Amino acid sequence: MNDNNHLPVWNLEALYADAESWEKDFARIEPLAKKFLAFRGKLAQSPEMLAAAISASDDFDRLVEKVYVFAHLKSDENTLINANRAKVDRVSALLAKLAPTQAWFDPELLAIDNDKIEKFLQDKALKPYEYTIRFILRRKQHSLSEPEEKMLGVLSDALGSSSNTFEILNDAELDFSKSVDEQGKRIPLTHGNYLTFLESADRNVRKKAFGKLYKTYRKFRNTFASTLEGNVKVHVAEAQLRHYDSALSAALDGDAIPVDVYHNLIEAVHSHLDAFYRYITLRKKVLKLDKLDMYDIYNPLLPACNKRYTFDEAAKLVKAALAPLGKEYGEILERAFSERWIDAPERKGKRSGAYSSGCFDSYPYLLLNFNGTLNDVFTLAHELGHSLHSYYSRTHQSYHYADYEIFVAEVASTTNEALLFEYLLKENRNDHEFCAYLYGHLADEIRGTIYRQTMFAEFEELIHSHCEKGTPLSADLLEKEYFKLNRLYYGSEVKPSRLIALEWARIPHFYYDFYVYKYATGMSAALKLAKDILSGKTDRYFGFLSAGGSKDALDIMRDAGVDLSTPAPVHAALDYFGEIVDAMQKELEFSGNGLLD
Ligand SMILES: [Zn+2]
């Protein structure tokens, strides 16, 4: 089916034509760092001086990104070529060496007194940087004196050791021994293949892997509780030192997100748990089980979709699905193919998975491992969403504001997926089995991205607030809280094994300091935007694509028509989830494949 010879490969020569020109730029990095460092101690001299310092910092960053992006793309193209890997290592080593010469800027800016900086900001030299400067100043009341900041800086490596211990134990030292596949063959169980076992149609295969995995975690439950507690204590202590009300508000302040956004999300999800319970009931019916356990949640409800697509067919489908975005978007999409932004084929040594990457001075490249499945078509739409978001922001913003925040990073990609979903649904209206499959696909995405991540977010806040009250985070407490939350989210139709109480132990995101809620808000926003686009309202969407990081993420989303400071977008997304579950049930009844008999 898949003829690798005809799949497109990317044009990295457009970024650097030869090794020599890359080396030339690499050699310019250190001098640019020195140029920036020369402004140290001079920021308060004049608005022009401050503007020149920011501009020097941008020149440095812009070159580093270009040099680094080429190295990492080249390396991912074929990880077996050491010379390519060596380029990445050289850039990383140089940046580590230069890092201590970069950290002075924010403290020095914050040390300028308020009246003076306000006056500076009236000067036209600083107009292009006003948003950035105010963003840094906003955190003034939470910054410490210079010696205190220095102390925290010196300690930061040591403060990360709980998190490092978790990674070493979890990724390298934990041994889950072997589980069995459908043929009874014993296979080493790893983080990488655990989900494959859980997706098996054979319940014993699922149950066995589930048991093996969590019984291993149970052996180390106190160690995992200790690494998690150590990490939470660091967040709590730093928030207290910086005079925040809570670790949560400290973490969200980094993106200028009010804590209401977080609490609204949790509340909105709580009020739509009934739709999730309906999904669970449908799952129980289709799987024909009396009761579900937690290892009955990830196996696909419907037989795998056996449709196959050539790369050209996939490209055609995606272009048609994104046509509601209009002519200009379509023309840029066309360039992704004609200018060869995409590296599509699977090949030996190539990095697995898919991503969109690039920098201000390159194409917004896409790496794929295209195999012709329906999932691969969705991945193409998703990564093109990232790439066109980057393209629009880089075209409409100066380098300084071209990068967008993590908070909005998954919005454009998920919007594209939603548009593809709606298009496929419309085009295959009479194929009930395929429609049921599509509904199942989206329902699973929403389950994983909105419900599950919000449950994680709720747990994260819970353990931080225990810690703030001085309650030790013992394994007993963590298991009790996790089990309770799991029961709330999955409802009475799931009678879970006690082992699920250990799930917290294996989630790396709990070490990321309130990160996962962004997945849930991002998807809620995307579903709303896709609806707007399909009803012809595209203007505000392009405002979002073009905004980069020139405003607070929450303002960018509000201007696009999604007000995440209210629970409305999450409510709408989960109402939609309820409709999808009902539609899926109907399609299954129509398709007459016996799944609901
Ligand atoms: Zn993505």
pLDDT for 2-19, tens place per residue? 455 689 999 999 999 999
417 inside domain: no
Return d(Cα 140, Cα 109) in angstroms, integer.
10
From the list 77, 229, 383, 458, the catalytic residue is 383
Q: 9 and 154: one domain?
A: yes
Cβ atoms of residues 206 and 198 within 8 Å: yes
**How much distance in Å is there from the Cα of 577 to the middle of ligand 1?**
20
Q: 138 and 195: one domain?
A: no
Any idea what DSSP says for residue 80? T
pLDDT the model gives residue 597:
67
Told to judge if 173 belongs to the known catalytic residues of this protein, a careful annotator would answer no
Enclosing H/E stretch for 204: helix 203-219
**How much distance in Å is there from the Cα of 382 to the middle of ligand 1?**
6
Where residue 10 falls (left for φ over 0; alpha for ψ -120 to 50; beta otherwise) is beta
How many other C-beta atoms lie within 10 A of the C-beta of residue 83?
9
pLDDT the model gives residue 300:
86
Cβ atoms of residues 417 and 455 within 8 Å: no
Any idea what DSSP says for residue 594? S
109 inside domain: yes
Return d(Cα 108, Cα 40) in angstroms, integer.
8
Q: 82 and 183: one domain?
A: no
Longest dimension (CA), the chain: 79
What is the tally of helices (H) and strands (E) in the chain?
26, 5
pLDDT the model gives residue 575:
97
**How much distance in Å is there from the Cα of 324 to the middle of ligand 1?**
21
Helix (H, G, I), strand (E, B) or coil at 145: coil
pLDDT the model gives residue 302:
82
- Residue 256: is it exposed, middle or buried by C-beta count within 10 angstroms (0-12/13-18/19+)? middle
Find the angle CA(47)-CA(52)-CA(58) to the nearest 5 degrees: 130
pLDDT the model gives residue 70:
98
CA-nearest of 59, 44, 180, 26 to 104 is 44
Q: 119 and 38: one domain?
A: yes
Cβ atoms of residues 420 and 408 within 8 Å: no
pLDDT the model gives residue 2:
46
Give me the residues paired with residue 188 across strands: 178
pLDDT the model gives residue 4:
58
Q: 55 and 197: one domain?
A: no
Q: 132 and 12: one domain?
A: yes
User: 105 lies in which domain range?
Assistant: 4-159
Return d(Cα 146, Cα 100) in angstroms, integer.
15
Q: 64 and 201: one domain?
A: no
Q: 143 and 205: one domain?
A: no
- Report which residue type is found at 35: K
In CATH, what number is assigned to the domain containing residue 37?
1.20.140.70
Structure-derived torsion over alpha carbons of residues 77, 78, 82, 85, reported in degrees to the nearest 10:
30
**CA distance readout (Å), 350 to 4, 137, 198:** 13, 44, 26
Return d(Cα 21, Cα 13) in angstroms, integer.
11
In which residue ranges of the chain is pLDDT below 70? 1-5, 592-594, 597
pTM reported for the whole predicted model? 0.93
Into how many domains does the chain fold? Answer: 2
Q: 182 and 155: one domain?
A: no
**How much distance in Å is there from the Cα of 451 to the middle of ligand 1?**
18
Q: 42 and 112: one domain?
A: yes
135 inside domain: yes
